[in-house]
Amino acid sequence: MSDEQRDAEFTRCFEREMPRLLRYAQRHVGPELAQDVVADTFQIAWRKWEELPESTYPWLVGTARKVIGNHVRSLVRRRRLDSRLGLLADVTAGADVEPTARIEALRRLAALSTIDREALLLVAWDGLTSEESATVLGISPAAFRKRLSRARSAVMAGERSEHVHVAATLGFEEES
């Protein structure tokens, strides 16, 4: 098949199938992303043109489905990154804290279990008392204080010179 024939066949396929494929994509990702999905799908079709079956539409829909999955996964990753960057921005808001201390604080915070991290953040960042935090979590104040103590101990683990900066960065001071 000559390049001209290939171009003509591809163009006919595009003109015939693009409107249907666009409607398919719009149903799954909305009008904003649908054109990107269709463009990516036809780009893949162009690269694999010689391998496509005679009935191209089912192949195009299958490929579009995979492209949509990739777009959705990218969107989820982007939202997670935005969330993490927002958390980092909140932590780094204090200009009086060294960047290395902020990074170390975030690393240690991320290393905590979910329940210990929540206990620490309710007090240090949200400004709740132990009693208020216990109410939020639906546990007794004594259980909350134990959880908070465990979280603080985990964060403070390490060299003495480091943990004082980490404690200040996270919004609490070491208890005597």
CA 127 → CA 72, 120, 132, 172, distances in Å? 36, 10, 9, 10
Spell out the domains of the chain, with CATH numbers in brackets: 3-86 (1.10.1740.10), 96-170 (1.10.10.10)
Is the pLDDT at 93 greater than 80, yes or no? no
Reported as half-sphere exposure (CB side, CA atoms, 13 A), residue 61 has a value of 10
Rounded mean pLDDT of the chain? 82
On whether the CB atoms of residues 22 and 39 are closer than 8 A, the answer is no
Identify the pLDDT of residue 24.
Answer: 95
Could you tell me what percent of the chain has a pLDDT over 70?
Answer: 80
Average of per-residue pLDDT across 97-125:
80
pLDDT in tens, 19-62: 999 999 999 999 989 999 999 999 999 999 999 998 999 999 99
Identify the pLDDT of residue 100.
Answer: 74
Lowest mean pLDDT among 71-85, 111-125, 152-166: 152-166
Say what the pTM is.
Answer: 0.49
- Going by pLDDT thresholds of 50, 70 and 90, the confidence category of residue 163 is very low
Average of per-residue pLDDT across 101-118:
80
